[in-house]
Amino acid sequence: MLRALIAGLFLALAAPAIAQEVLAPNPEIEATIAGQFDAFRAEDVPGAWAFASPNIQGLFGTPENFARMVEQGYPMVWQPGEVDFIDLQSFGGLLVQRVQVIDGTGNAHYLGYQMVRTDDGWRINGVQVLRAPDVAA
């Protein structure tokens, strides 16, 4: 249920009327996402929670609820392997950083991190599992 709510934050991504624009890399956004991955690697739940937006924090209420959702719904984020930043996209003002995560078994996962700017800097406002990009043979 909670995963569906978060995925609902990305409904705008599916709307064909919204123009997609690829932006230049944003080191601050990448550092925010990398910081949350580092916190999860270190099993620092409060640290990972600090990178979540006020909306996400309000939705889950406590770092423990947030951690449970990530562990159950996003195991590749909970225990990430290699992380690569693909590109930053704008969908009518909605900023999404695409990320590739290689999990512990070597499987690639593609995630869209919706980012919002707050008074405290960039924060993660939701994550969506994306379809793997098509690879030309």
Domain layout of the chain by residue ranges:
2-10+18-129
Q: 């590109």: which residue's tokens?
A: 87
Among the four given CATH numbers 3.10.450.50, 3.40.1710.10, 3.90.1150.10, 3.30.450.40, the one describing domain 2-10+18-129: 3.10.450.50
pLDDT band at 21 (very low <50, low <70, confident <90, very high): very high
pLDDT of residue 77: 96
Contact in structure between 75 and 103 (CB atoms under 8 Å): yes
User: Residue 51: phi, psi to the nearest 5?
Assistant: -85, -10
Residue 122 CA to residue 19 CA, distance in Å, equals 23
Q: Is the pLDDT score of 96 beyond 90?
A: yes
How far from the centroid of its chain's Cα atoms is residue 20's Cα? Answer: 18
Q: Is the pLDDT score of 85 beyond 90?
A: yes
